[in-house]
Every structure is written in C-alpha cells, then in structure tokens.
Amino acid sequence: MNAFDIHIHTRRYSGCSFIDDGDIVGQAAAAGLSGMALTEHGMRWPDEEFGRLQKISAGRGIVLINGQEINTFDSSNRSEGEFLVFGLCRSLTQTCSAARLVEAVHREGGIIIAAHPYKLSRGGKSHYYGAGDLVYKLELDGIELCHPDHGELAMKKVRKAMDVLKIPGTGGSDAHKILNIGSHVTLFENRITGEDDFIREIRAGRIRAEKRER
C-alpha cells in the first residue's frame, strides 16, 4: 500500500500554518510517505513554484500533488463546509455554494472531497466546521474519514455516508505543524506516479483511510 497525506497546509500560502515548505519533503520521508498533497486555503500553488518543489520531492521518491481547500457559503453567507479539490489548473477564488463548487470541479474534470465534514465547531453538537449532513445532497468523489478532529462519533457518521453515497473515505493530517504530517493518511492499493493516477484511483475507490500512531 502507498501512503499519501492528502491534506497539508504550508505557511507560504496558508497564513494559519507554521510549516515551511522547505521542510515538508524531509518530514514526508521521515514519516514513510509515498506522497502528499498541498491543499492551501483558497488557492492552488502556482505551476512554476510547485514544479520546483515537485522535483525536490521526486528526488526523495515522494509524489507531490497540487490541490486546494475551498470554503463554501450559501445565499445567506453561512458556511457550507470546506472541500479538497484536485485536478484543476486554476485556483478557485470565487465564493460559491457547495453545490456550485461540485458542479464546477466536475465540469473541469477534477475531483472533490468533503474535508472533515463532522469536525465539531464551538457552536455545539450539531454545528460543524465541515459540511455535515449536507454531504448527502452533493455528488462527491470522496469524504474525509481519518482526520485529527474526527472522533469515533464523527467517523461513524462518515462511514454511514460512505455506505449510503458509495464513495471512498480518505485520510489526511490537515497539518499546520510539521510533525503532524503523515499522522493520518490515504492508502492507495496501486502505485501512484502523478495526478492522473491519484485522481483515477480515488474515483475508483481503490483506497482506504488510516490513522497512524506517531
């Protein structure tokens, strides 16, 4: 199995992160990862910059994927959750609803995964930082199962959604600190050499999520 951490933020493009992008390759290697995905808030790494980092990563035998994490809002400007997007050649900077985001991503040939859908907010048991039960109304390609802020109840809810929607569960550290990289991973049954393989295998559901003891 090939372990990928598919939810990582760096301080270069995510102001809330403490991770220097120059440190991520070494940490990924130390964590035994086969690959990782950068998912900055509200943007995708520029191709030239990403290409340089990708070459460094490949030199250590690690596949680097360019993604983004997008927050969505309804017509009343209430959050509809955050989503991991892969396979697009541009940053999705325009504010929109979750349904419109799904439509745009699929129209451009990408995939979309609900990030930490049942991560509890400070608002209480029925308020989430993620999409919550809205996932049942969306045509998603995957849903984040193993996440640092998903306890047993949250994971139970995700597994139910996976079963009903017939979509795979992913794992990602949502790392904002360097040592968290690799703590939660997506295991791919087949070898991944780049973005095309990555997208194909998630669509096919040939993956599983895992939390790793550090």
Q: What is the mean pLDDT of residues 33-40?
A: 98
Where does the pLDDT of residue 126 fall: very low under 50, low under 70, confident under 90, or very high at 90 and above? low
Higher-confidence residue: 126 or 193?
193
Say which residues have a Cβ less than 8 Å from residue 12's Cβ, sequence separation at least 6: 20, 21, 40
pLDDT for 61 equals 97
Mean pLDDT estimate for the chain: 95
All domains of the chain in start order, with CATH: 2-211 (3.20.20.140)
Q: Tell me if the pTM is above 0.85.
A: yes
| pLDDT tens, position by position, 134-177 | 999 999 999 999 999 999 999 999 999 999 999 999 999 999 99
Q: State whether residue 159 is helix, strand or coil.
A: helix
Chain-centre distance for alpha carbon 18: 18
Helix (H) or strand (E) holding 52: helix 47-59
Asked if 9 and 15 count as a contact pair (C-beta separation under 8 A), the reply is: no
Tens digits of residue pLDDT in 79-123: 999 999 999 999 998 889 999 999 999 999 999 999 999 998 865
* pLDDT at residue 214 greater than cutoff 80: no
* Angle, CA of 171, 177 and 178, to the nearest 5°: 85
pLDDT, mean of residues 48-64: 97
